[in-house]
Amino acid sequence: MGLPIREDIAALQRQIAAAIQAGRDNEAGQLWQRLLDIDPDSTKALFALSQRAFRAGDLQRARELLGRLVALDGQDLQQWINLAVVCRGLHDDEGEAAALTGALTVDPTDMLAQLLRGELFERQGRRHEAVRAYGAGAMAAPPLEKLEPSLRPLLQRALAFQDAYQRDYGDWMDAHLAPLLRDLQGEPLGRFRDAVDIMFGRKRRYDPQPALFYYPGLAPVTFFDRALFPWMPALEAQTDAIRAEFLAVLERQDGFVPYLSYPPDQPHFQFAQLNNSPDWSAYHLIEQGRVVTDHAAQCPVTMAALANVPQPRQLNRTPSAMFSLLRPRTRIPAHTGVSNVRLVAHLPLILPGQCALRVGNDVREWQMGKAWAFDDTIEHEAWNDSDALRVVLIFDVWHPHLSEAERTMVSALADGIVQFGAGGGGFEL
């Protein structure tokens, strides 16, 4: 029974090709439908008939066909884009959002899917989410003059939205910070004011350092002089006790999570290999400014030592502290941090050898019982070329060259970002 059906399908496909070549559009459409009747799982027929339905204005039929198509296949970005466009025409925001998530799961860096997602969020009044999506789309876009003409208006709309959002955001932040700036009048806050102006595009950033928040006037130092951190010797003296606490939690094998965990529809670029991977994992003690109570209770010596460290307070961002585990033969690719107002400090706990950190042009190997602090907004990478586990305690510290007044204002800026609702929208510390 199977052979005649396969022969019928092959014959139909030849007839379809001949009809298309001869320009007999109606005949081709009828033949596509016959093919679908014989083979309901024909992705080619579903795609062709959905296009015909869309051109004919039968959006309900087009959605039904595309829904079947993505359920059967869903590996082709265009299938999801077409479904999103049809759902938009039907004023089905939920369906459009789901289709765009499907498209971005296939390719999180796709320009058109991100721009369409931004447009959907803009229509819904979700400004913070719209600017994130528009920003991702604009980042993936070629120069405007090289873009296909039909797509230029959408990109121009995204860029205009970003500009307006940034102006509104900057005006709001000025009002938010004004009372505290008045209270601190006379303090040397010129660098802070420059940082805010650079953040909102009101001044040009000439010294590119961090990815998101640049604080001018801070020298681009890789590894900092230990003399700037008078708390280091006391911390280092606790190395053995801190290591013992780590080994105790490691034995329980509970609470360790991948260091990186990006959703499937978000771009993760150079970190794709390590995303959701146990090769680089963490045991969080303080995460995004909040103590992980259960974990901290297991590590009282570590928490007491960290209490004497000047960790930055930036709502929903820092302080942070964790045990960082790098498995054998694992490399963390080159990357940069988000803000130079805080440094990253390491206290090594387990060193198997053949492990190092590069910050800019400086490469250093950890030494047991010796902490260091570095500017992670300078390109850096780490590796474990040994056959054993490497473990360091990682935590944040204020940049030592910021005054108390500057630290107060940076914390206030972080509070304002969260109150405005933009935390996670690309304007973070």
Report pLDDT digits (tens) over 139-174: 999 999 999 999 999 999 999 999 999 999 999 999
Q: Does 40 share its domain with 138?
A: yes
Whether 243 is in a domain gets the answer yes
Cα–Cα distance between 133 and 215 in angstroms, integer? Answer: 26
Q: Which residues of the chain have pLDDT under 50?
A: 1-3, 207-208, 424-429
The answer to whether 52 and 66 are in contact (CB under 8 A) is no
Q: Decide if 368 contacts 241 (C-beta within 8 A).
A: no
384 and 239 belong to one structural domain: yes
Would residue 170 count as lying in a domain? no
Tens digits of per-residue pLDDT, 68-90? Answer: 999 999 999 999 999 999 999 99
Per-residue pLDDT, 213: 83
Same domain, 131 and 48: yes
Least Cα distance to 52 among 88, 85, 81, 28 occurs for 28
Report yes or no on 154 lying in a domain. Answer: yes
Say which amino acid occupies 252. Answer: R
- Reported as a single tens digit per residue, the pLDDT across 19-66 is 888 889 899 889 889 888 888 999 999 999 999 999 999 999 999 999
405, 189 Cβ separation under 8 angstroms: yes
Does 189 reside within a domain? no
> Does residue 105 share a domain with residue 252?
no
Look at residues 161, 180, 203 and tell me which one is the last residue of a structural domain: 161
Whether residues 145 and 239 fall in one domain: no
Q: Is residue 411 part of a domain?
A: no
Which CATH number is 386's domain given? 2.60.120.330
Q: With helix as H, strand as E and coil as C, how does 248-276 read?
A: HHHHHCCCCEECCCCCCCCCCHHHCCCCC
Residue 28: its pLDDT value, please? 86
Within 251-385, strands assigned E span 257-258, 280-287, 290-291, 321-326, 330-335, 342-350, 355-359, 362-364, 372-374, 380-384
Give the domain range for residue 142.
2-161
Q: pTM of the predicted model, to two decimals?
A: 0.75
How many independent structural domains does the chain possess? 2
Give a yes or no: residue 344 inside a domain: yes
The CATH number of the domain holding residue 113 is: 1.25.40.10
Stated as kind and residue range, the H or E segment containing 101 is helix 93-106
Residues 300 and 397 reside in one and the same domain: yes
Last residue of a domain, one of 161, 180, 210: 161
> Are residue 291 and residue 386 in the same domain, yes or no?
yes
